[in-house]
């Protein structure tokens, strides 16, 4: 009987060592980022380097929050719009909105694409209504939303979930 225990222990030992060589499972499957030229825009990242890489915006506006310092800012570029939020004196990316078909998501979807194309590119959405398809990132920190009219994409928004 004691042999059994010894054998069990050795098997357990072997097994775990084998598993150590196995490598890690891919857990980063669902991360939504927007890419403009060679600039990657990731939500929640510090805004400063991204904004300077994107260059001068076509339009800019800022808006305060009630009772607190710091400004929400919006930058409009050709084909997309970027919003930032302030935290501890620094700005971070809050959302990216694709506004016309001159730009596309890295997965190849742009405004005017069909609903089927979105599903082919992104898989089954996490939630779906008549007017939208919504995808959530793994940690549910980011949503990617496609607004639809007559089965066609009319607007694409990457948003940080604020709750």
Give the footprint of other proteins on this chain (CB under 8 A): 1-6, 9, 13, 15-16, 18-25, 59, 61-64, 66-69, 72, 74, 76, 81, 95, 97, 99, 129, 131-132, 134, 145, 147, 154-155, 157, 162-163
Provide the minimum distance between the beta carbon of 156 and other proteins in the complex, in angstroms, as a whole number.
Answer: 11
- Taking CA 151 as the corner, what is the angle to CA 124 and CA 135, rounded to the nearest 5 degrees? 30
Per the CB < 8 A criterion, the answer to whether 144 and 122 are in contact is yes
CA atoms of 26 and 129, how far apart (whole Å): 30
99 or 117, CB closer to other proteins?
99
Which DSSP symbol is given to 13?
A: H
65 or 120, CB closer to other proteins?
65
45 or 62, CB closer to other proteins?
62
CA atoms of 37 and 42, how far apart (whole Å): 14
11 or 53, CB closer to other proteins?
11
Provide the minimum distance between the beta carbon of 12 and other proteins in the complex, in angstroms, as a whole number.
Answer: 8
Provide the minimum distance between the beta carbon of 148 and other proteins in the complex, in angstroms, as a whole number.
Answer: 9
Instruction: Write down the residue that tokens 């971070």 correspond to.
Output: 92
Provide the minimum distance between the beta carbon of 155 and other proteins in the complex, in angstroms, as a whole number.
Answer: 5
Provide the minimum distance between the beta carbon of 72 and other proteins in the complex, in angstroms, as a whole number.
Answer: 6
What is the per-residue burial (b if ≥16 Cβ within 10 Å, else e) of 90-102?
ebbbbbbbbbeee
50 or 85, CB closer to other proteins?
85
CA atoms of 102 and 99, how far apart (whole Å): 9
């Amino acid at each position: 009987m004691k042999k059994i225990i010894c054998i069990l222990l050795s098997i357990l030992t072997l097994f775990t060592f084998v598993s150590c060589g196995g490598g890690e499972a891919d857990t980063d499957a669902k991360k939504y980022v927007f890419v403009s030229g060679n600039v990657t825009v990731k939500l929640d990242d510090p805004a400063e380097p991204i904004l300077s890489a994107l260059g001068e915006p076509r339009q800019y506006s800022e808006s305060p929050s009630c009772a607190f310092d710091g400004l929400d800012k919006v930058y409009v570029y050709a084909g997309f719009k970027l919003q930032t939020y302030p935290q501890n004196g620094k700005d971070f990316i809050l959302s990216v909105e694709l506004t016309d078909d001159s730009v596309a998501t890295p997965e190849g979807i742009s405004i005017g694409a069909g609903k089927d194309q979105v599903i082919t590119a992104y898989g089954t959405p996490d939630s779906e209504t008549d007017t939208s398809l919504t995808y959530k990132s793994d940690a549910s920190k980011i949503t990617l939303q496609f607004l639809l009219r007559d089965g066609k994409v009319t607007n694409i928004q990457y948003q940080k979930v604020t709750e």
